[in-house]
Structure 1
Amino acid sequence: MSNTKYILGHFADPDDMMHGIEKLQENNISIYDAYTPMPIHGIEAKLGYKRSRLPIAAFCFGITGTCAGFSMIYYMLVYDWPMNIGGKPAFAMPNFVPICFELTVLFAAFGMMACFMYANHFFPGRAPRVMDLRASNDRFVLAIDAKTNPYPEKIVDLLNEAGAVEILHNERKYVSYE
């Protein structure tokens, strides 16, 4: 087997790419990923992606911010330096609400950003993994793992049937002139 990692099928139209996904899945060929210049409704479900867990992480970070704000204010105003201001109690809940809210939003925002960057490998110093630069401009690209799919000729034929404009495999370019 060659050292080729991926077979790339380029499509000019998103409908052709969705048709290509269907054709490949009908033949039990696993798709590594799809790269598009714009969001396509329903592609996550078609590729079998699970729902993101980012909202759960945001909730956990938000609760952490609320607890941090509440415990910080309680420690400062009730335990460390209690003051009697105008006869009000030191533990007055309405006074805690704005700061707890702000820390909830702050922790949730920074936590979601950190989780997103970690999950997508966007940390500093890492080179971006780009299959083809045209995928961010005008092409819809399907990447098929060449190591797990043993019949590359079959994949090339299926991509051509689906309407691929160009197929890159083994340093060779298959161009469709239809």
Structure 2
Amino acid sequence: MEASKVIHAIYNDDDVLMHAVKKVKAAKHHIEEIYTPFPVHGLDKAMGLAPTRLAICAFMYGCVGLTVAILMMNFIMIEDWPQDIGGKPSFSYLENMPAFVPIMFELTVFFAAHLMVITFYLRSKMWPFKKAENPDPRTTDDHFLMEIPVHGNQQELHDLLAQTGAVEINVVDKAH
């Protein structure tokens, strides 16, 4: 296992963190990761992260749910066991489609929601019994941590981070 050094800059305010991220990015340093106790609005944009494509997945999963609903209701109510319910004969799918709309909606939402959760966990590499990757437990309470790799510029980074309002700056060996 090869170890490399990273700097952990700890902040106690999200506005100070946002200002620091902009300063660090302006100085052309790569920010490896930021750990926060709650989502910070605009942080992904300030870090220069690409927009998420999870919305595309949600749409595709919704389409799968709608398709499953249509095929399931057509098979169950029209082909397999047509019934005369309340004087409404089940001779064709189109004649009965208004009664099927709630089921189509519910299965669309069901598939989109459940498959999105699974996709999010897989994409985030979060699965049962996985060890937490949080480098400092204070980031789950009230502190913010910025992780920057060190490439022979430790003093320069330390000085820059001290100027940005970091309350604590630590150099750590991180195993890859």
TM-score, scaled to structure 2: 0.85
Question: How much has 1:10 moved relative to structure 2?
Answer: 0.8
Does 1:130 pair with 2:130? Answer: no
Question: How much has 1:169 moved relative to structure 2?
Answer: 0.3
Match of 2:53 in 1: 53
Percent identity over the alignment?
A: 35
Query: Quick one: structure 1 residues 58 and 68, their matched pair in 2 at CA, closer, same or farther if it must change by over 3 Å?
Result: same
Match of 1:17 in 2: 17
Does 1:100 pair with 2:101? Answer: no
Query: Quick one: structure 1 residues 95 and 157, their matched pair in 2 at CA, closer, same or farther if it must change by over 3 Å?
Result: same
Question: How much has 1:49 moved relative to structure 2?
Answer: 1.7
- Between the aligned partners of 1:134 and 1:93, the Cα distance in structure 2 is 54
Contact 1:77 1:90 in 2 (8 A): no
- Between the aligned partners of 2:83 and 2:144, the Cα distance in structure 1 is 65
Match of 2:32 in 1: 32
**1:4 aligns to what SS in structure 2?**
strand
Match of 1:75 in 2: 75
Query: Quick one: structure 1 residues 5 and 67, their matched pair in 2 at CA, closer, same or farther if it must change by over 3 Å?
Result: farther
Q: Deviations over 1:50-93 (max 9, x none)?
A: 22222221111111111101101111222223345536242221
- Between the aligned partners of 2:5 and 2:80, the Cα distance in structure 1 is 61
Match of 2:166 in 1: 164
Unaligned runs of 5+ in 1: 172-178
Contact 2:83 2:89 in 1 (8 A): no
Higher relative contact order (CA 8 A, sep 6+): 2
Point out the more displaced range, 51-60 or 111-120.
51-60
Root mean square deviation, CA, Å: 2.0
Contact 2:57 2:116 in 1 (8 A): yes
Q: How many residues end up aligned between the 2 structures? A: 168
TM-score, scaled to structure 1: 0.84
Q: Which amino acid aligns with 1:112?
A: M
